[in-house]
Structure 1
Amino acid sequence: MRTGTTSHRSKRHVRAWAVGLAATLAGVLGLTLIPQAMAARTPTAPSGPAAAAAPAAFTHPGVLVSRPQLDFVRGRVQANAEPWSSANAQMMASSYASLSRTPKPRANVECGSYSNPNNGCTDEREDAIAAYTDALAWYITRDDRYAQKSIALMDAWSAVIKEHTNSNAPLQTGWAGSVWPRAAEIIKYTYDSWPNSGRFATMLRTVYLPEVINGSHSNGNWELSMTEAAIGISVFLEDHTSYDKAVATFRGRVPAYIYLSSDGALPKVAPGSGLSGRDAIVSYWQGQSTFMTGLTQETCRDLTHTGYGISAIAHIAETSRIQGQDLYPEIQERLRQALGFQAKYMMGAAVPSNLCGGSLKDSLGPVTEVGYNALHNRLGIAMTQTQALTEKQRPAGTNNLFVAWETLTHGDNPA
């Protein structure tokens, strides 16, 4: 299993979002960052007190998927409509939905680079995905057995785990910590009883949040996945301070992960990264010295890690939208361009010689549904290449890390 390496939202926005959503519904029904660099962002990210992003009251369930989204999915599955019916069948046939699954918690999850050693790393990630899968299955079927299985998995881990260790600990915590709150939000706010939900909250607060809340200056997918975990955990814990801190990290990292020509000759750098000078930036961008709109900091590493970063960006923006503090307007152009740029080559376009030496490795994985649905279906933005790739990959399954069943949950979902 490949992991990271150890080198480490004016009224205009509201109106745009509302118009896009209305159109979608109608369709369904018929480097040290200097102040000047900060100011160059388009649109400008808020700063100071105005940067507060946490809602006065959190929406539940509200991590990646909302109740209206879940209701839409349930209705489409019950109507045997596509692509949701096939996506649901895919999920229910997976090992993650097995009611005989036995959780494998441990006190210390030790994960080295590329999960070597792998002492509980795969077990933790897959048990988290299983808990989320069972929570989705519960909501769609209303079969108590799935809710109880989700609870059993979460309870098993909250009773045992104490820490993550070794070099991949921050990334491992980010991946598992991104998925646990999705499951927990659905169960806590749609199922009748979860006696140990408080213990689970304590686990998130003491084992996961401290490991991810301060971000990372490793490759961008690390900090983005860790920030996704921090955002989701903050929603479940109703922790306004941590939510705001994670959003601030997100606002600094996204412009440093996806390049736009408007950034200038060189990509932006994440606050506090210490990166300075062309040579250091080129090295951090995997040796790529020609910068083009839509390129990501990890495109020339491989498309798989690029997919991790793009996916986490979309997940965070989606959760923020559910929480009523929509981050999509701030990052929509970067997300659109990144999706389209990578999708073009995934769909077979020739790679030019000035891009990663003329070849790209691996594939994005099942990571386009959330961003595509938000930007194209809700906001009405044309995304030809991303649409083609998204439809080609349906139903999108799981990457067995932190992405799971997004054709089911977000495919053409107007809610």
Structure 2
Amino acid sequence: MRRAALLAGVASLLMGAFTAPAAHSAPTAFAHPGVTVSRSQLDFARARVLDGAQPWKGAFDQLLASKYADLNRTPAPRAIVECGSYSNPNYGCTDEREDALAAYTDALAWYVTRDDRYAKKAIQLMDAWSAVIQDHTNSNAPLQTGWAGSTWPRAAEIIKYAYPGGWPNAGRFATMLRNVYLPEVINGSNSNGNWELSMTEAAIGISVFLEDRTSYDKAMATFRTRTAAYVYLASDGDLPKTVPSQHLDTRDKIVKYWQGQSTFVTGLTQETCRDFVHTGYGISAISHVAETSRIQGQDLYGTDVGERLRQALGFQSRYELGTAVPSWLCGGSLKLGLGPVTEVGYNALHNRLGVAMTNTQALTERNRPAGSNNLFVAWETLTHGDNPA
């Protein structure tokens, strides 16, 4: 009996046993616009741009000069978007992501300028896709759906709830999100953590737009479990927490999943030793979900989510800024390139909550104005840079 109990205890340790927190309830009434950026944040950014204040004016100029704000853009929808590994084959993958980014860019451009041409272009892009798309296929379908599905609701929220000119096909767009995107992302993924984090970001944003409380709660529970399994804290114990469905039930399996890294320190992510690009995808999705949750009235920044986000940002920023890589970390070599992903978390944790974030601050200020990663991140110096709203 004692031996059986001991083995059970060891198995529990190796599993990093983590039970998802109680359902993080959706709000009784959803706030709109309410996906990643709120009306008050938009109003703050608009006022700063119109005042000519920096860094917001420079960030907005960068937005307007980008290909995503081109009023001559022609949407390129497809009925079936087929995306293989690393978007090979690429049948509509880039077109879909970039049309979604363009719709969001145009929505922001309209909000600041009140030039109806931008709102109408955003509507044209969203209408073109909602009239055509039926499915995503091939191995990268879940991730592709997560990336595009994270961006579409940001654009749609601004147009539907702020633009006074009307959007006759908003219902058709909602049907697209519910029937084409949500089923692909709502059940999560057992791939690398950035996949599931991006997919849950999409599911949560879509749920806000659809005012779907059930899907919101399900996606949020998945998000909480995955975030705890993506960013390590010393308080987790000797090994990182895991997602139960992945059956990472030995130390060797966990180390392999963490890209061969066997020394675990606070702020390390599951993909740090893969490369900082994919790590940035995961960190960005965590910050976006935390920000959407805050707008919807429930603060995740004061929970372990906020602490994991703070530590992940600080750890990665330190090396992105040039700190020498120790031999115990990823064999002494890192593939840098975190991307424009620090503004949202830095603003929430440092500016709002007063948490010291020296490395993250230095990297954020060095990279301003933050542009787009051409996938699902865009213009966050404009929308979140030092934004108290």
Query: If the length of structure 1 is used for normalisation, what is the TM-score?
Result: 0.89
Measured against aligned partners, the alpha-carbon deviations of 1:276-302 in whole angstroms (never above 9, x if no partner) come to: 110000000000011111000000000
Q: Find out whether 1:70 has 2:50 as its counterpart.
A: no
- What is the CA–CA distance in structure 2 between the aligned matches of 1:58 and 1:33, rounded to whole Å? 39
Matched ranges for 1:74-153 at <5 A: 74-153=46-125
Measured against aligned partners, the alpha-carbon deviations of 1:354-402 in whole angstroms (never above 9, x if no partner) come to: 0000010031000000000000000000000000000000000000000
Q: CA deviation at 1:137?
A: 0.3
Q: Are the counterparts in 2 of residues 69 and 409 from structure 1 also a CA contact under 8 Å?
A: yes
- What is the CA–CA distance in structure 2 between the aligned matches of 1:412 and 1:162, rounded to whole Å? 40
Q: Find out whether 1:181 has 2:161 as its counterpart.
A: no
- What is the CA–CA distance in structure 1 between the aligned matches of 2:149 and 2:77, rounded to whole Å? 14
Q: Are the counterparts in 2 of residues 234 and 240 from structure 1 also a CA contact under 8 Å?
A: yes
Partner of 1:197: 170
Q: Output the amino acid matched with 1:316.
A: V
Partner of 2:296: 323
Q: Find out whether 1:38 has 2:18 as its counterpart.
A: yes
Query: CA 1:133–1:390 in structure 2 vs 1: closer, same or farther (change >3 Å)?
Result: same
Q: Output the amino acid matched with 1:352.
A: P
Partner of 1:385: 359
Q: Are the counterparts in 1 of residues 18 and 242 from structure 2 also a CA contact under 8 Å?
A: no
Q: CA deviation at 1:191?
A: 1.0
Query: CA 1:325–1:34 in structure 2 vs 1: closer, same or farther (change >3 Å)?
Result: farther
Q: CA deviation at 1:33?
A: 9.5
Matched ranges for 1:6-405 at <5 A: 37-38=17-18, 46-47=21-22, 51-192=23-164, 193-330=166-303, 331-405=305-379
Q: Output the amino acid matched with 1:196.
A: N
- What is the CA–CA distance in structure 2 between the aligned matches of 1:140 and 1:271, rounded to whole Å? 45
Query: CA 1:287–1:76 in structure 2 vs 1: closer, same or farther (change >3 Å)?
Result: same
Q: CA deviation at 1:326?
A: 1.5
CA RMSD of aligned residues (A): 1.4
Q: CA deviation at 1:269?
A: 0.1
Q: Output the amino acid matched with 1:117.
A: P
Q: CA deviation at 1:95?
A: 0.6
Q: CA deviation at 1:272?
A: 1.8
What are the ranges of 5 or more consecutive residues in structure 2 without an aligned counterpart? 1-10
Measured against aligned partners, the alpha-carbon deviations of 1:98-138 in whole angstroms (never above 9, x if no partner) come to: 00000000000000000000000000000000000000000
Identity of aligned residues (%): 77
SS in 2 for 1:77: helix
SS in 2 for 1:109: strand
- What is the CA–CA distance in structure 2 between the aligned matches of 1:36 and 1:298, rounded to whole Å? 17
Query: CA 1:34–1:52 in structure 2 vs 1: closer, same or farther (change >3 Å)?
Result: farther
What are the ranges of 5 or more consecutive residues in structure 1 without an aligned counterpart? 1-30, 40-44
SS in 1 for 2:302: helix
